[in-house]
Chain A
């Protein structure tokens, strides 16, 4: 039972255009969401997060949108750059209680930004 789903295994975008990566979740107890970026042969690195009390969080070229009613979040990268080519993981946690230690990860979306 996959609680965090990234339904697009891959995405190709032209340099300078917008990249939109999507993530759906099923556990209504999740209230904190994160995006990680991973290059080959490296560990994931934290990119941006959002709490369920917000519907948008922005950091430079990266914006995460959260739609709680649809249990959906998306990561927008504008403008996309070749260095953004990586695998992007969506992750979620319960903000408090016994489950709060654990990040549940999606399977990842491989983004390729074409020069």
Chain B
């Protein structure tokens, strides 16, 4: 079991560029999440999904989009990158609502 994998590990974007952060889990979890962590702060939920084809906004969704076409994959799309999106992004999955979530290693994104 690889658990939750994320690619890329690091990325530098110019302002206005777009990119997709990839997330895959092999635990057959229905629930998947995207968080961002800014320096010295806790994790904030961007989007979540309760199953293939079903997504919803979290606390900080502006500037991001998601899709969930399969149980395994939950990509996060950044359109028109802004410096405020410089952060570390974590994908997570779980078997149930609000319970133990398993996190990927993160993607460190810098927008300049």
> Which residue numbers of A lie inside 8 Å of B, CB to CB?
4, 9, 32, 34, 36, 41-46, 49, 89, 93-96, 99-108
Report the tally of A-B residue pairs with Cβ distances under 8 A. 61
- A99 vs B97: C-alpha distance in the bound complex, in angstroms? 9
> Which residue numbers of B lie inside 8 Å of A, CB to CB?
4, 31, 33, 40-45, 48, 50, 58-59, 90, 92, 97-106
Q: A43-B4, A43-B106 are in contact. Are A32 and B99 (CB under 8 A)?
A: yes
Contact among A41, A45, A46, A101 for B97, CB-based, below 8 A: A101
Contact among A34, A99, A106 for B100, CB-based, below 8 A: A34
Q: Do A103 and B45 touch across chains, with their CB atoms under 8 A apart?
A: yes
Q: Do B58 and A107 touch across chains, with their CB atoms under 8 A apart?
A: no
Q: Do A100 and B98 touch across chains, with their CB atoms under 8 A apart?
A: yes
Q: A43-B4, A105-B42 are in contact. Are A100 and B97 (CB under 8 A)?
A: yes
